[in-house]
Chain A
């Protein structure tokens, strides 16, 4: 029996430079202004940002997009004076931070918001450490630049040893206004998808066979509908820089480099990899995990992962953040010296949804075929200097994974796609397009399109908490929450009811431990976030369950978590896809003391 934390601490002592200099004093990523201390002023204002040489209007803080890195230390108190210089209401939410409800920053739930040209003083004790982020919770301000990283250094020694660190904050930026993006998705399903199946693909033996196309057409389901807003609308950014800007993080060969990867996007889940380097995942959502070595990981909107890389060679490496639908990529470079570039891999072909994504676990998926010949990807495709060989299919665990094509021959066409008997609590209505007839736990799946990439991809079940969970009681009860939607109307909801329909919160009693089962009845992945709490994923790791604030529920999949309702107040609970939340995929969660007079 071995305590891993102690070993990690030991490795810190042996780690060279890190032993002489606290991690927080190491040079951080060039170009990210940092604020720290007990009194911090954040000024929200309109500004211009330049991406790949193109200027566009934005909202930033203290003159920068992304907003400044807030660097805190566990155990300190912080006062954040947020000044809203906009002509509209604003707010800041500290994503993943445990704090009193009135400090959480959700207008209409935790406080009234910050009125135009006024300010709000957030103040709270810093009770945790790790990598987090913050963003506006007002309107669509998050889409136009109101997001930034938070790093909280541990009160004691950091069990994660590193010689230097860089923040890598992923985001999606559009020249379109968020209102225009929302409108187009609302009125024209598939508006931003330029990688659909077409007749030219059918003739060229690409994508689905005719038989499968007919079967999916009969169900009015589009397997190419991986993302709502795509590279057709977005340029994908790293620390506010476009793929051509090539933001560069420096290292000295042999150094252990800690990358704090934050997905601050509005709508984009990314697949992250650095060709040539193994990634050792050491933290997820600010919580240390036992190190897991992978080649790639999927990061949902609002998730964070800290990874260690140890580049031994004196050469550059490309950090690739590929949008899950492969319509574009965020790109940065890790290099020993500024100005170096590494080969950039071509965007991989976009995946197709499978029967498993529809909540029909049929098994026997057919191998995927090539993508439609007319499929379009955004300008980042031009950066590619290498075309990747088709990955080897041998050696992968096919049984547990979904694939591009599917032979519908074995499908029972009577299988009801919208049988409310499968989900009695779901409100029947136009907002519910489908109900998964056979949803399965997909925490062992790596994410759409990652089953056969030929290398190790992180799955949730790989994650184990470094420390024992603080509350290891059995849940006293369990609840189901269905993630529902209608992709044809761009309506999104929980249990068939939109935020705008529901006045009652989801109730919890202070201190109770509850098992929450999220059932995805839609054919899209949803990163689900609860405010004010961490939850422990039920993935078989007992009292070392990974603790998270946001979790991707894959299409047709189930994610189960336990949590302790220990933060009294009303809290937001929502899908972190900004426009899914705007379309109604949100609820208020209430935590009240037992016997609290209502």
Chain B
């Protein structure tokens, strides 16, 4: 028994010794130490072929995997399927279709509300949502976006929905195009949309879109947020949204230039990754001509509110 262990240890030692010398080729000759005492009687059938000479006895001559590879040309890929020779081609075609689909061709869906909250504001409390859903594969997707807000008294003040074709155009960004419809404010508007959405360096989630309304007005929007993990589950999310307009749209009380901005800071706790209640503050400001429209309507162009909501996806 002890001898058996000794044999193993002795055999192991050359290999262990070579750990710290990572060069190739490996130490050639095995040290003889530890082998002398062993019974060599059972070696009658040992392999005396050229391989051992190459390996153990003439280290200078490369063999096997130490040989360089040639540069023969690669064969052409066969256009048939080998299993079709053994099984019904129709059955194989069906199985192959399934196998390929299960190898990266799946479709997925996601519905996510980054913001679903109530807002406590001076004068009037309200609510707000900002969500997105998509359906499709890795490259092509149908994306639905919705956002809006309202007052507890006074109903929905703004509500929009976008239906977009989304296409991955790089590792991090999707190009999106489609339509947007604003149900509120009155009068409702429909826009053509083109935009991009993705992950910018330093882990900023960004979104930028241009909108062309059925009246010929051009609007723009830029959104960005950053998830600062305080711990594994406590996440602080600063968020900015800027709305822009190429011209005054007096009907919708939008002024040219930067029309409004929202700065938010939300602290969420991820009970699970999918379900995270949060609290935060949100500051909204209408600026320029848009602010003047608001004041003319008797509204305060600026408001700051405390918010509480749930970030949820499934």
Question: What residues make up the interface of A, taking CB atoms closer than 8 Å to B?
Answer: 1-16, 89, 101-102, 106-113, 139, 161, 182-184, 186-188, 191, 194-200, 214, 217-220, 254, 256, 280, 290-294, 308, 310, 372-376, 397, 400, 418, 429-433, 444, 456, 459, 461-462, 464, 467-469, 472-479, 486, 488-489, 491-493, 498-501, 504-509, 512, 514-515, 536-545, 562, 568-570, 581-586, 590, 592, 596, 598
Contacts and interface: CB of A to CB of B under 8 A. Distances in A.
Given A217-B202, A476-B72, A542-B64, A6 B46 contact: yes
A543 B64 contact: yes
Contact of A590 (B42, B82, B110, B199): B82
Interface of B: 1, 3-5, 7-9, 11-13, 15-16, 18-20, 22-26, 30, 32, 35, 38-43, 45-47, 49, 51-52, 54-57, 62-83, 86-88, 91-92, 94-106, 108, 110, 138-139, 168-172, 199, 201-203, 228-233, 273, 313
Contact of A472 (B32, B64, B80): B64
A107 B56 contact: no
A102 to B, nearest CB: 5
B104 A544 contact: no
Given A11-B4, A220-B172, A430-B169, A464 B104 contact: no
B12 A293 contact: yes
Given A112-B94, A291-B11, 7 more contacts: A6-B45, A194-B233, A199-B229, A372-B232, A474-B70, A475-B67, A596-B78
B229 A459 contact: no
Contacts of B80: 598
Nearest to B35: A2
Given A107-B95, A111-B83, A542-B64, A505 B70 contact: no
18 contacts: A7-B38, A14-B1, A106-B99, A198-B229, A199-B230, A217-B203, A308-B8, A310-B5, A429-B168, A430-B169, A462-B16, A477-B72, A491-B138, A498-B105, A542-B63, A545-B64, A569-B83, A582-B106
B78 to A, nearest CB: 4
A567 B206 CA distance: 51
A563 B97 CA distance: 29
B100 A108 contact: yes
Given A15-B1, A108-B100, A186-B108, A477 B70 contact: yes
Given A186-B108, A198-B230, A108 B82 contact: no
Contacts of A430: 138-139, 168-171
Contacts of A542: 25, 54-55, 62-66
Contacts of B51: 468-469, 472, 543-544
Given A10-B39, A543-B65, A256 B4 contact: yes
B236 to A, nearest CB: 8
Nearest to A219: B201
A291 B11 CA distance: 6
B88 to A, nearest CB: 7
B206 to A, nearest CB: 12
A469 B50 CA distance: 11
A220 B65 contact: no
B7 A475 contact: no
A562 B172 contact: no
B88 A112 contact: yes
A585 to B, nearest CB: 8
Nearest to A195: B232
B38 A488 contact: no
A540 B21 CA distance: 12
B248 to A, nearest CB: 39
B108 to A, nearest CB: 5
